[in-house]
């Protein structure tokens, strides 16, 4: 039997999808998924974004529980914290056709 999802849970899901609706955050998550744990500096170099911008996105992802952080000396290392996140991204990305060059 199918049951309705409670409104509060739907609101949490909507917040999570809003977080995933930003291309920079998706790029960060993709890098963490493929390369594993990375520092802010690694992510800045890989994305071409400013340190302030990468840090802002990482803060939002960490507050939502999607990524985890560990401090080692002066470096903060980030990793994906939600194993379902990678599966969700693979599922959605497999349904989107690859971009073709113009």
State pLDDT tens for residues 30-54.
899 999 999 999 999 999 999 999 9
Low-confidence ranges of the chain (pLDDT < 70): 99-102
Which residue from 91, 40, 41, 96 is spatially nearest to 67, judged by alpha carbons?
40
Query: Inter-axis angle of helices 40-47 and 51-63, to 10 degrees?
Result: 120
In this prediction, residue 55 carries a pLDDT of: 96
**CATH value of 7-89 in 3.30.9.60, 1.10.3720.10, 1.10.10.10, 2.30.30.790:** 1.10.10.10
pLDDT reported for residue 20 = 87
pLDDT at 100: 55
Domain ranges of the chain: 7-89
Cα(93)–Cα(39) distance, integer angstroms: 25
65: CB partners within 8 A, 6+ apart: 81, 82
pTM over 0.85: no
Note the pLDDT of residue 99. Answer: 56
Question: What is the predicted pLDDT for the residue at 102?
Answer: 47
């Amino acid at each position: 039997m199918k049951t309705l999802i409670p409104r509060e849970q739907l609101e949490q899901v909507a917040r999570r999808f809003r977080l995933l609706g930003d291309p920079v955050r998706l790029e960060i998550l993709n890098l963490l998924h493929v390369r594993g744990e990375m520092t802010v500096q690694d992510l800045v170099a890989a994305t071409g974004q400013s340190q302030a911008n990468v840090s802002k996105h990482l803060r939002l992802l960490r507050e939502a529980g999607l990524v985890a952080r560990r401090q080692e000396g002066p470096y903060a290392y980030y990793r994906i914290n939600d194993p379902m996140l990678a599966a969700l991204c693979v599922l959605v990305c497999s349904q989107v056709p690859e971009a073709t060059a113009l």
